[in-house]
């Protein structure tokens, strides 16, 4: 709990470090800033300088706090091609204690701040956008649906909700969780409780492929990696919340590079308090 992790396939080096005492929702690299990441902590989007060579936290700074219920927390997060962060919330609980309709879906950028897009979300999960920046796909897991929106990437607006893929109507087990996109524009959707990822063609809403993950049933997400972006990394969990990462090769498809978070250079008027393990950075505006 409260850890961020990094695995380097080329060297097989795996490191992790604890950054706080709660659930960490996401971690995304910052554009053009080595060892800097934005991390979801409770309702905060936190900038972390993580010295990965020495596995030390150099500094932390809260960039934004979602104007949400104190009983909620952020869940999945992903950036669009402009570096704008998209993330939603859910009850800070597990299983049957998660309340339906209590969450929200937001975007955040340095330019526009926090913007609310959707209400009455139950479990905010997978987020993906098209390579041509005209569509955004989103999963609220308790809808058992992949939804599609028209997407204006320039002003960060979504509109015209359309159900794209219904898990139950396709007689699939589990609920949709995280997702990623391949170079052909197809969506790879993790089925939590379904022991698989399914591939959906957005132009038709058709199920075109199923990938079984035999060693676990709680598949949570996936992304493409490796030197040629032709390896699928699948995350999963167990009843005791032990996490696993699976590498799947030989799929015959490639992914697209993930977009980093865009953060302009910080102002020079910073006050830094140095402790034994942490530098707390406060921006004076």
Q: No. of H helices and E strands in the chain?
A: 0, 23
Bridge partners of residue 44, in order along the sequence? 41, 65
Q: Do the Cβ atoms of 229 and 244 come closer than 8 Å?
A: no
Whether 177 is a known active-site residue: answer: yes
Please tell me what DSSP assigns to residue 99.
Answer: P
Count of residues in the chain: 285
Q: How far apart are the first and last CA of the chain?
A: 33
Token look-up 């589990």 returns 174
Q: Is 125 annotated as a binding residue?
A: yes
Q: Is 177 annotated as a binding residue?
A: yes
Q: Could you give the CA distance from residue 22 to residue 39 in angstroms, rounded to a whole number?
A: 12
Rounded to whole angstroms, what are the CA distances from 245 to 4, 114, 202, 250? 14, 32, 26, 17
Q: Is 73 annotated as a binding residue?
A: yes
Which residues, including other chains, have CB under 8 Å from residue 231's CB and lie 6 or more apart? 9, 224, 225, 247, 248, 249
Q: Could you give the CA distance from residue 60 to residue 87 in angstroms, rounded to a whole number?
A: 20
CA-nearest of 43, 64, 205 to 124 is 43
Choose the catalytic residue: 177, 184, 239, 240: 177
Q: Could you give the CA distance from residue 28 to residue 40 in angstroms, rounded to a whole number?
A: 9
Q: Is 75 annotated as a binding residue?
A: yes
Please tell me whether residue 250 adopts helix, strand or coil conformation. Answer: coil
Element (H, E) at 7: strand 3-8
Binding residue numbers = 73, 75, 125, 177
Give the residue numbers annotated as catalytic, written as ranges: 177
Binding residue numbers for a divalent metal cation = 125, 177
Binding residue numbers for substrate = 73, 75
């Amino acid at each position: 709990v409260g850890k961020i992790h990094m695995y380097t396939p080329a060297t097989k080096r795996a490191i992790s470090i604890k950054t706080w005492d709660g659930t960490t929702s996401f971690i995304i690299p910052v554009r053009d800033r080595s060892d800097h990441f934005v991390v979801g902590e409770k309702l905060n989007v936190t900038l972390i300088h993580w010295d990965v060579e020495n596995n030390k936290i150099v500094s932390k700074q809260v960039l934004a706090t979602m104007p949400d219920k104190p009983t909620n927390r952020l869940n999945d997060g992903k950036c669009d091609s402009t570096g704008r962060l998209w993330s939603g919330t859910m009850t800070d609980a597990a299983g049957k204690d998660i309340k339906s309709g209590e969450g929200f879906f937001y975007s955040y950028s340095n330019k526009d701040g926090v913007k609310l897009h959707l209400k009455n979300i139950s479990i905010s999960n997978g987020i993906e956008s098209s390579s041509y920046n005209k569509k955004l796909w989103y999963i609220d897991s308790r809808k058992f649906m992949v939804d599609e929106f028209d997407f204006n990437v320039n002003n960060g607006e979504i509109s015209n909700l359309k159900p794209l893929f219904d898990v139950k109507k396709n007689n699939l087990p589990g609920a949709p969780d995280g997702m990623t996109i391949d170079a052909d524009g197809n969506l790879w959707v993790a089925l939590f409780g379904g022991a698989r990822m399914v591939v959906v063609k957005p132009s038709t809403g058709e199920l075109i492929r199923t990938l079984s993950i035999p060693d676990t049933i709680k598949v949570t997400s996936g992304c493409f990696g490796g030197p040629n972006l032709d390896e699928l990394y699948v995350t999963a969990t167990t009843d005791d919340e032990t996490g696993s990462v699976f590498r799947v090769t030989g799929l015959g498809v490639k992914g697209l590079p993930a977009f980093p978070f865009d953060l302009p250079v910080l102002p020079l008027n910073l006050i830094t308090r140095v402790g034994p393990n942490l530098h707390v950075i406060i921006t004076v505006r």
